[in-house]
Amino acid sequence: MINRPQVNMGYERRWFLFIHSLALSTLAVQLDLNAAHSQATVTETSTTTQSPAENELEQLVKQAETLDAEKKYEESSKLWQQVVAIAPNKLDGHFCYAVALHRAGNLVKAETEYKAALKWKAEELNILSNLADAYKEDKKLPEAIDTLKQALAIQPNPAAEQLHIKLAALLEETGATDEAIAQYQVVLEADPRNEIALHNLAGLFQISGQIKQSIATWKCFLKYYPKAEQSAVVRDIIKGLNAVDVAGKSNDNASDYYEEATKKSLLRWKTAVPIKVFIAPSEQMKGSKPQYSKYLADAFDEWTLATPSLKWQRVEFAKDADVVCYYVTAMPKGSIFSTSEGGHSSLVGTESDPHIIGSAKVLIKTLSAEGDSVSDEEIRSVCLHEVGHTLGLNGHSGNPKDAMFYSTSPHPVVELSARDKSTIARLYTSK
């Protein structure tokens, strides 16, 4: 199963790290509150004095800025609230108050203050960008998308790449893959070398089954960034995608993908006796969780339920098993393993009949290629995929809704599709 790479600073944190930062450095609050509190000239040398209200405001701003610098946002937000109370008609106070609330995690109030700051029609793009961030963190994805579209309507310019990238990430999260692709393409029209857009666009093509476009975009990424941190992983991905592309695929909307799944060779287990499976404890493996062992067992349950003639049983020791399953932090070194794989299955045929599976080994990675933890959903998806291979589906589907799709996805498949069930059933009923 080819992973879509999880990338560090430059890529995967495409929402929070490389787009408009939450906290702009705090804007200095203008002190010309109103005519009654204006500065007064007291000497011929232009020496000025401040009213008590101005002095109080200046001190509040300095204290709030100090607390912001110390990341004491709950305390600073209270001071910014006082600034807003003294100077309710100044954009800066509302904006800084909103940012402090946002950083403190008080999202609802932050949203209110960002919207209040919008009425000045200044710093609109920055405010809308931060408001979209707040909506996103508050799980209000439609509102976040609408806010970014509002910002792009103000500045409908491909050069506003941060807004396009941010919108693309949101659209991808909501499953609007085609719209997300369009946003990255807008960025690349203005800047064909944009590292983030190239990387994320290649990944989107990959997970949506557009193999040729994905390969071309990954190659473009490597052309401009041959020494990027993930270049080795990207080369592995291209190799894997080329293999998928050569294998070809039929109608992804057909009732099954039997032809693709058995294109390399026809492999099956004997159905007369249950397959004995050993699942190694996962708790001691870095990045692993106790429930991971259950995910493998659940995967065997799902696939065998779809194939009434196929049974399995769990055994306590590896020496007694037909299939051994292990969790690993990285794939063993060797040409048959790819750094882009989230898991790997190897099958061995019997001496009497190479089309009958005699034994198998399953490896499930607990960490990404970058050494980061992966989500429970991703582990479940990889388990389901690799068990499918273990039971004889040695090819892949071209439909991202199937468990046997060739790539990982931001929306992992955690249960078998109707096509998955039809394909495994056909494998064990065909002659």
pLDDT per residue as tens, the chain (431 positions): 556 554 322 222 222 222 222 222 223 333 222 222 222 222 333 345 667 778 888 899 999 999 999 999 999 999 999 999 998 888 888 999 999 999 999 999 999 999 999 988 777 888 999 999 999 999 999 999 999 999 999 876 655 888 999 999 999 889 899 999 999 999 999 999 999 999 999 989 988 878 899 999 999 999 999 988 778 878 878 887 887 755 555 456 689 999 988 888 889 999 888 999 999 987 666 767 888 889 999 999 999 999 989 999 999 999 999 999 999 888 776 545 555 668 889 999 888 888 899 999 999 988 876 677 888 998 999 999 999 999 999 888 888 889 998 877 767 889 999 999 999 999 999 87
Domain-embedded: residue 119: yes
Domain-embedded: residue 169: yes
Same domain, 172 and 305: no
Question: How many helices (H) does the chain have, and how many strands (E)?
Answer: 15, 7
Q: Does residue 283 contact residue 290 with C-beta atoms inside 8 Å?
A: yes
Closest CA to 110 of 142, 87, 59, 76: 76
Strand 343-349 with 357-365, pairing? antiparallel
Q: Which residues, at least 6 apart from 272, have a Cβ–Cβ distance to it below 8 Å?
A: none
Domain-embedded: residue 3: no
Same domain, 297 and 412: yes
Q: Which residues, at least 6 apart from 72, have a Cβ–Cβ distance to it below 8 Å?
A: none
Domain finish residue from 239, 272, 298:
239
Domain-embedded: residue 123: yes
Same domain, 269 and 156: no
CA angle 101, 107, 113 (to 5 degrees): 60
Helix %, strand %, coil % of the chain (to 5): 50, 10, 40
Same domain, 280 and 349: yes
Same domain, 342 and 375: yes
Domain finish residue from 239, 274, 290:
239
Q: Does residue 249 contact residue 409 with C-beta atoms inside 8 Å?
A: no
DSSP state of 49: E
Q: Give bridge partners of residue 279 from the DSSP assignment.
A: 325
Task: Find the CATH number of the domain harbouring 382.
Answer: 3.40.390.10
> What's the pLDDT score for residue 384?
95
> What's the pLDDT score for residue 367?
83
Cα distance between residue 334 and residue 351, in whole Å: 25
Task: Find the CATH number of the domain harbouring 181.
Answer: 1.25.40.10
Cα distance between residue 333 and residue 421, in whole Å: 34
SS3 state of residue 364: strand
Q: Does residue 310 contact residue 269 with C-beta atoms inside 8 Å?
A: yes
Same domain, 199 and 297: no
> What's the pLDDT score for residue 27?
31
Q: Does residue 208 contact residue 400 with C-beta atoms inside 8 Å?
A: yes
Cα distance between residue 49 and residue 192, in whole Å: 55
Same domain, 281 and 199: no
Closest CA to 415 of 308, 307, 299, 336: 299
**Residue 37, CB half-sphere, CA atoms under 13 Å: how many?**
15
Which pair of tokens denotes residue 244? 């998928």
Cα distance between residue 256 and residue 252, in whole Å: 8
Which pair of tokens denotes residue 193? 């070398």
Closest CA to 313 of 297, 333, 327, 294: 297
Cα distance between residue 76 and residue 69, in whole Å: 10
Domain that holds residue 306: 258-427
Same domain, 286 and 214: no
SS3 state of residue 258: helix
Q: Does residue 293 contact residue 326 with C-beta atoms inside 8 Å?
A: no
CA 96 to chain centre: 30
Domain-embedded: residue 367: yes
Same domain, 88 and 185: yes
Same domain, 298 and 182: no
Cα distance between residue 289 and residue 291, in whole Å: 6
Domain-embedded: residue 246: no
Domain-embedded: residue 384: yes
Domain-embedded: residue 5: no
Closest CA to 77 of 56, 90, 52, 60: 60
> What's the pLDDT score for residue 26?
29
Helices (H), 118-174: 124-137, 141-154, 161-173
Same domain, 191 and 325: no
Domain finish residue from 204, 239, 274:
239
Strand 275-279 with 323-328, pairing? parallel
How many distinct structural domains can be found in the chain?
Answer: 2
Same domain, 291 and 408: yes
Could you write out the DSSP letters of every residue in 265-324?
---B--SSSPEEEEE---TTSTT--TTHHHHHHHHHHHHHHT-TT--EEE-SSGGG-SEE
